[in-house]
Each structure stands twice: as structure tokens, then as C-alpha cells.
Amino acid sequence: MISPGLTEEITALHAGICSALADPRRILILYALNEKPSNVSDIAEALGIGQSAASRHLNLLRERGLVTAKREGQSVVNTLADQRIIQALDLLREVLASNLQSQAVLAESVAESKE
């Protein structure tokens, strides 16, 4: 049986991290920040989105504790709060690739059986 403590932890995980990762642009922002700390203009340019959209995404990522911001002169530089988020995303990408590979093998098998 699933314990109430685990249920609370998973609920907090979903509210804090998973919902922040629900938009692919926010995941791309995390990968961009993994390459180098950046201001909102640099992020917007790298993703090909408007500065206001980039700012909204960054604000949500900061609220959820995935990104930190530090003022440097007149610019605010954003950085990853914890490098492990990239490791987690990379692991999820590996799971996705494995699933896609399994589906391709299955589709190939089905196609061959129809011949």
C-alpha cells in the first residue's frame, strides 16, 4: 500500500517540479542555462521566443526553485539552482528514446508479419 507520506511527497514533487517541466520551452531554458548562465534577452534569442514569454517562463522556474537569479549591473543573470535537474532530464530522455526504439521494433515486427 502507498503510504500517506509518499503521497504527500509525490504531490509536492508534482506541484514543485513536474508542473514546471510541463512546458517544453521551460525544459529548453534549463538546458540553455546548463550551457551558460544567461539573462532573459539571451534566453529569448536562443529559444526564438519573445522576451516577455521568456521572462514568464523564467519567473515560474525561479518560483519552483529550479533557477536562481542574480543581479549583475543592470542585467539579471539566471543560473540553474541544481545541476541534478539536467541529470534527471537526461535520464527521462533516455527512457523516452528506449520507449521509441521499442515501439519501432514492434511496428517493424507487425509490418513484417503482414507481408
What are residue 75's DSSP bridge partners? 72
Average pLDDT over residues 71-86: 96
Cβ-contact 61, 29 below 8 angstroms: yes
The residue-averaged pLDDT of 87-97 equals 94
Which among 11, 13, 27, 84 has a CA at the least distance from the CA of 60? 27
| Whole-prediction pTM | 0.84
How much is the pLDDT for 110? Answer: 74
